[in-house]
Amino acid sequence: MYQASFSSRLLPGERIIWTGQPSTGLLLTSRDTYLIPFSLVWFCFTVVWETAALTSTDADTFFVLWGAMFMGIGLYMVVGRFVSDAWIRSKTSYALTDQRVLIARSAPFAKFIAVNLARLSDVQLTERSDGTGTVRFGPQLAMTGARQGFGAWSPALDPVPQFLIITDARRVFDLVQHAAAKR
């Protein structure tokens, strides 16, 4: 199914073992335990700020615009990040070959990642009770820090390569382990 999108990126003699795509729809992670309350407090504060700025008799345009900007950021944190994450995941495809892990994402956040199986040092499996899960090809980054970027708010933009929320994650993890052992 996704094999055609990766065929032009294969090295000579390389063959595809598995292809897939992340699940679509709403995705909640353990980070949302902290991010959802923070974003709700942020958004509520900006609504109060904007209401006060708009109802003030001597409303300064700067304070109204400043509040509107932060209210927009809060709206993104409360709702928009889930919508954009689902949209980015819908444009992402995965492949495992006998030599590499391949991740392709189409525009507007187009990116292609190839991780050599011989260089994998840390592969992690996070599995849910329904068999879906995530296979990460590197350590989990701290929620704060410059390297995290939007990955803290959107799992699809996490800088660590991963097969995010795939079906039959344990089988794919085992395929990665077996392919890496042959390298």
Does the pLDDT value for residue 183 go beyond 80? no
- Return the closest-CA partner of residue 161 out of 128, 142, 134: 134
Using one digit for the tens of pLDDT, what is the confidence trace for 1-31? 455 579 889 999 999 999 999 998 888 887 8
Q: Can you tell me the mean pLDDT for 104-133?
A: 90
pLDDT at 2: 58
Predicted confidence band of residue 59 (pLDDT cuts 50, 70, 90): confident
pTM of the model: 0.82
Instruction: Tell me if residue 3 falls in helix, strand or coil.
Output: helix
- Return the closest-CA partner of residue 176 out of 122, 140, 127, 132: 122
pLDDT at 5: 76
HEC string of 32-89 equals HHHHHHHHHHHHHHHHHHHHHHHHCCCCCHHHHHHHHHHHHHHHHHHHHHHHHHHHHH
More confident residue, 172 or 142: 172
Predicted confidence band of residue 161 (pLDDT cuts 50, 70, 90): very high
